[in-house]
Chain A
Amino acid sequence: MPETTAPNGQSQAADFEPKIVAFFCNWCTYLAADLAGTSRLRYAPNVRVVRVMCSGRVDPQFVLEAFAQGADGVLIGGCHPGDCHYQEGNYKALRRYHLLRRMLEQMGVEPERFRLEWISASEGERLRAVVNDMVEKVRALGPLRKNAAAQLLEEATVR
């Protein structure tokens, strides 16, 4: 990953390519990404998808670990409210997301770096829009600040 870090820890380099770890549910958002593929919708290549059966499976530790390992952003994708394949796993994800987001903010991780989005199996276009938007916003922020990551590494030893 090309990266230049300014003294304040914020990279302003134009060639900075953020790396974003995504957790997509098997039934909606993963399929939306499949649909974006079959529809040949071009979007930013910065997201790496980890498939889980439900957004409710996303343990906050997964998110912390991704940041601790240096991910510039984490994106969770689930089914729209009311559409969860497992009835209500996405609501569970939403609850954890709100708590985790506040915690991450206190650790110095900007809120734009952590998103939960509802993207249904038919929304390939929305998948593209969300990914592109998130990549742009994280690119503008620069790489995850090393001190924040280091702090996380220390604190996220719950494993």
Chain B
Amino acid sequence: MTQPSARIGVYICHCGTNIAGTVDVAALREYAATLPHVVVARDYKYMCSDPGQELIKTDIAENGLNRVVVAACSPHLHEHTFRSACEEAGLNPYLCHMVNIREHDSWVHTGPAATEKAKDLLRAAVQRVVWNEPLERRQIPIRQSVLVVGGGIAGIHAALTLANAGKKVYLVEREPSIGGHMAMFDKTFPTLDCAACILTPKMTAVKSNPNITLWTYSEVISVEGYVGDFRVQVRRKPRYVIEDLCVGCLECVEACVYKQPKFADEFNLGLSKRKPIYLPFPQAVPQVVLIDPETCIEFKSGKCKKTCVEACGERNAIDFNQKETIETIEVGAIILATGYQTFDASRISYYGYGTYPNVYTALEVERLINASGPTGGELVLRDGRKPRTVGIIHCVGSRDEHTNRWCSRVCCMYSLKLAHLVKERTGAEVYNFYIDMRTPGKGFEEFYNRVAEEGVHFIRGKVADVYPANGDGQLTLKVEDTLLGQVRKIPVDMVILAVGLEPRADATEVRRMFNISCSSEGWFLERHPKLAPVNTFTDGIFLAGCCQGPKDIPDTVAQAGAAAAEAFQLLDLSAIEMEPNTAYVLEGVCSGCKTCVGLCPYNAISFLADKHVAHINEALCKGCGTCVAACPSGSIRQHLFEDEQIFEEVHGIMA
């Protein structure tokens, strides 16, 4: 590698006052002009704007630039912009290098030190870019199918959007039915649409869409590959019922040797019972029963009369010998829609959840007031009485430094909805205990006013204690009413805890499997909070719904649509260009020591026995550079991160 005769243009962005308010851009420009090989140095208010890019293009043409340095924001934001501008002007995009003087400088430092740092970084870039070489991007074909993980409303909407656009979709859901949390709700705020009425048509559309392969009761167990070509293994758990043969007639359930349901029903959160053979809930998709081997007599003793098999008759759908299967699929993109879990209310002991029977979580109450729920939609206490007074405690496991610090965004609104429904169904007096009422959203504030006008009581204060009132089974809520400025004790028949949303317990394992990042709270991290909210830092993997953070149904659906559009856009390219920062071997220098071979996590390095040298398969190389750093003879090199380039960056910093 020899140093070519470089003609460098340096462009310094003001970013309005974001950079220019801290860094002396004029001094930086003057300094840049003094650096070797710099032919032109300019500063401009917004380099990323069209006129800003035009400056670069014009200079490339008129000043014969063969290198460009842009000192602006993070390359994660605009490297693509400036490389493209260079490319449009006929300069190889990899002869452009960015200097981060915003995120790494003007936004975190003050005074002359910020300008000094900018000079150092700029000098480093100018020295480095001299050694940059023109590179070509590799073309990788994209598989024309998408994996959607999670069959809640987010995954359902994303899958349908893609399938309706003609793309092949694999929808993988852990539970025996799709539907997610939304299927458990009664009404949705603020319009009070029946959740099932708007969700179940979409669920059946998933089942009937020929472009969707629906795998419920299944989990992704491994992910390999990269954008355009992911290889995914899915474990399909045995339901002991052959999906293709079961018609959902439920005669087997009727015929089960257990005449009455006896075991806690998961879908109803244990508020009702089911048999060992059961349909998760009436509108389940697929309409296929499953057998719980933990409770089925045949599995426990092998001595059941198997009346279910008898009832199934010629359909022969029941198979006690069914084994789990592992399916391998190849997809071009992945949408993660793995959702959330609700806060475990027993973690806050003074609210008495799990201790006092009439303390419920909001999700349990959703089931209780649901027409298909355990009580047929009647809101009753555990002893069958109707509650006359109900207290709803907001922010349980939200906005609390002892549990979760974030606002879960949906609890105020669903608490208002529950207040309305409880009052409508039972005529009870309803008290809402809130810290702040948060109702930003279309029609939300109006709904709040409506519920207030209906006579629901609102008490601003955090409930400090829940304890039994004298004798009659009531519970007393002790709260400081911060508007009255006094402590109040309010007796109620029923307490509803507005539990917050939190990342699923296995979110860390899931994100590692898919090689994406999490926020410090554990939500999956988007590529950019504003401009790439459904992308991740791993190309080809997108996010939808609450796995990225708490959100309501409209936002979830909007985000799922966006994720589907991103995946569609990717697939529609039919081939994508890969960054050319791969490693390569100088065969004449390689000593054949094989140090590198075992280091590569992608098995991209092989040993050519005939030539006694290492060989790197460029199609498999992801460009991490580990082998480059390890090569004792310096025969492995990396495009775009050549030793000379990095040494020169260091020299530039220290010069």
Taking Cβ atoms with an 8 Å cutoff, the residues of A that contact B are 17, 19, 21, 27-28, 30-31, 33-38, 40-43, 45, 48-54, 56-62, 65-66, 69-71, 82-83, 85-89, 92, 96, 120-123, 128, 159
Contacting pair B625 A62 (CB below 8 A)? no
Contacting pair A88 B601 (CB below 8 A)? yes
A50-B525 CB under 8 A given contacts A34-B104, A82-B512: no
For A69, the chain B residues whose CB sits under 8 A away are 650-651, 654
Picked from B102, B105, B124, B629, the residue with its CB within 8 Å of the CB of A50 is: B124
Within 161-181 of B, Cβ neighbours of A (below 8 Å) are at: none
Picked from A36, A41, A49, A57, the residue with its CB within 8 Å of the CB of B626 is: A57
A86-B601 CB under 8 A given contacts A43-B108, A92-B626: yes
Q: Can you name 22 A-B pairs with beta carbons within 8 Å?
A: A19-B654, A27-B517, A31-B537, A35-B103, A36-B103, A36-B108, A37-B103, A37-B108, A40-B108, A45-B116, A49-B100, A50-B650, A53-B623, A57-B624, A65-B650, A65-B651, A69-B654, A82-B512, A85-B624, A86-B601, A89-B601, A92-B629
**Which residue from chain B places its CB closest to the CB of A125 in the assembled complex?**
B520
**Which residue from chain B places its CB closest to the CB of A1 in the assembled complex?**
B116
Question: Roughly how many angstroms separate A33 CA and B102 CA in the complex, as a whole number?
Answer: 11
Picked from A49, A82, A83, A89, the residue with its CB within 8 Å of the CB of B104 is: A49
Picked from A17, A85, A121, the residue with its CB within 8 Å of the CB of B525 is: A121
Contacting pair B76 A31 (CB below 8 A)? yes
Let me know if B622 is at the binding interface, CB within 8 A: yes
For B100, the chain A residues whose CB sits under 8 A away are 34, 49
Contacting pair B643 A59 (CB below 8 A)? yes
Contacting pair A87 B653 (CB below 8 A)? no
Which interface class (under 10, 10 to 19, 20 to 34, 35 or more) fits B? 35 or more
Let me know if B221 is at the binding interface, CB within 8 A: no
Nearest 8 Cβ contacts at the A-B interface: A37-B103, A57-B625, A56-B626, A86-B624, A69-B654, A54-B624, A45-B113, A45-B109
The 8 A CB mask of B633-655 against A (1 = contact, 0 = none) is 00000100101001101110110
B223 to nearest A CB, angstroms? 12
Contacting pair A42 B517 (CB below 8 A)? no
For A31, the chain B residues whose CB sits under 8 A away are 76, 517, 537
Let me know if B628 is at the binding interface, CB within 8 A: yes
For A128, the chain B residues whose CB sits under 8 A away are 108
**Which residue from chain B places its CB closest to the CB of A28 in the assembled complex?**
B517
Contacting pair B650 A62 (CB below 8 A)? yes
**Which residue from chain B places its CB closest to the CB of A43 in the assembled complex?**
B108
Let me know if B121 is at the binding interface, CB within 8 A: yes
Question: Roughly how many angstroms separate A100 CA and B351 CA in the complex, as a whole number?
Answer: 55
Contacting pair B108 A41 (CB below 8 A)? yes
A59-B103 CB under 8 A given contacts A53-B641, A121-B517, A122-B520: no
For B629, the chain A residues whose CB sits under 8 A away are 56-60, 92, 96
Picked from A48, A83, A121, the residue with its CB within 8 Å of the CB of B120 is: A48
B102 to nearest A CB, angstroms? 6
A56-B625 CB under 8 A given contacts A45-B114, A86-B601: yes
Q: Is the interface of B mostly helix, strand, loop or mixed?
A: helix
Contacting pair A53 B625 (CB below 8 A)? yes
Picked from A35, A42, A56, A70, the residue with its CB within 8 Å of the CB of B110 is: A42
Taking Cβ atoms with an 8 Å cutoff, the residues of B that contact A are 74-76, 100, 102-105, 107-110, 113-114, 116-117, 120-121, 124, 512, 515, 517-520, 525, 537-538, 581, 599, 601, 622-626, 628-630, 638, 641, 643, 646-647, 649-651, 653-654
**Which residue from chain B places its CB closest to the CB of A39 in the assembled complex?**
B107
Contacting pair A27 B537 (CB below 8 A)? yes
B304 to nearest A CB, angstroms? 45
A146 to nearest B CB, angstroms? 14
For B110, the chain A residues whose CB sits under 8 A away are 42
Contacting pair A54 B76 (CB below 8 A)? no
Contacting pair A57 B628 (CB below 8 A)? yes
B115 to nearest A CB, angstroms? 10
Contacting pair A38 B107 (CB below 8 A)? yes
A89-B626 CB under 8 A given contacts A21-B650, A37-B103, A53-B641: yes
For B625, the chain A residues whose CB sits under 8 A away are 52-54, 56-57, 89
B544 to nearest A CB, angstroms? 20
Question: Roughly how many angstroms separate A98 CA and B460 CA in the complex, as a whole number?
Answer: 56
For B525, the chain A residues whose CB sits under 8 A away are 121-122
Contacting pair B76 A37 (CB below 8 A)? no
Question: Roughly how many angstroms separate A121 CA and B116 CA in the complex, as a whole number?
Answer: 26
A22 to nearest B CB, angstroms? 9
Picked from A48, A70, A96, the residue with its CB within 8 Å of the CB of B117 is: A48
For B74, the chain A residues whose CB sits under 8 A away are 34, 37
Question: Roughly how many angstroms separate A19 CA and B651 CA in the complex, as a whole number?
Answer: 13
A70-B654 CB under 8 A given contacts A59-B629, A86-B601: yes
Question: Roughly how many angstroms separate A69 CA and B124 CA in the complex, as a whole number?
Answer: 13
For A30, the chain B residues whose CB sits under 8 A away are 76
Question: Roughly how many angstroms separate A66 CA and B104 CA in the complex, as a whole number?
Answer: 20
Question: Roughly how many angstroms separate A123 CA and B113 CA in the complex, as a whole number?
Answer: 24
B34 to nearest A CB, angstroms? 18
For A54, the chain B residues whose CB sits under 8 A away are 624-626
Contacting pair B651 A62 (CB below 8 A)? no
For A86, the chain B residues whose CB sits under 8 A away are 601, 622, 624, 626
For A122, the chain B residues whose CB sits under 8 A away are 517-520, 525
B573 to nearest A CB, angstroms? 23
For B651, the chain A residues whose CB sits under 8 A away are 65, 69
Question: Roughly how many angstroms separate A88 CA and B107 CA in the complex, as a whole number?
Answer: 32
**Which residue from chain B places its CB closest to the CB of A62 in the assembled complex?**
B646
Question: Roughly how many angstroms separate A23 CA and B650 CA in the complex, as a whole number?
Answer: 10
Question: Roughly how many angstroms separate A32 CA and B518 CA in the complex, as a whole number?
Answer: 12
Question: Roughly how many angstroms separate A98 CA and B518 CA in the complex, as a whole number?
Answer: 28
For B103, the chain A residues whose CB sits under 8 A away are 33-38
For A43, the chain B residues whose CB sits under 8 A away are 108-109
Question: Roughly how many angstroms separate A92 CA and B601 CA in the complex, as a whole number?
Answer: 11
Contacting pair A83 B512 (CB below 8 A)? yes
Contacting pair A40 B537 (CB below 8 A)? no
B632 to nearest A CB, angstroms? 10
For B520, the chain A residues whose CB sits under 8 A away are 122-123
Question: Roughly how many angstroms separate A49 CA and B118 CA in the complex, as a whole number?
Answer: 11
For B538, the chain A residues whose CB sits under 8 A away are 85
For B653, the chain A residues whose CB sits under 8 A away are 19, 21, 48, 50, 66, 71
Question: Roughly how many angstroms separate A50 CA and B643 CA in the complex, as a whole number?
Answer: 12
A6 to nearest B CB, angstroms? 22
Question: Roughly how many angstroms separate A96 CA and B107 CA in the complex, as a whole number?
Answer: 33
For B108, the chain A residues whose CB sits under 8 A away are 36-37, 40-43, 45, 128
For B517, the chain A residues whose CB sits under 8 A away are 27-28, 31, 83, 120-122
For B113, the chain A residues whose CB sits under 8 A away are 17, 45
Picked from B116, B515, B643, B649, the residue with its CB within 8 Å of the CB of A61 is: B643
Question: Roughly how many angstroms separate A49 CA and B74 CA in the complex, as a whole number?
Answer: 12
A74 to nearest B CB, angstroms? 9
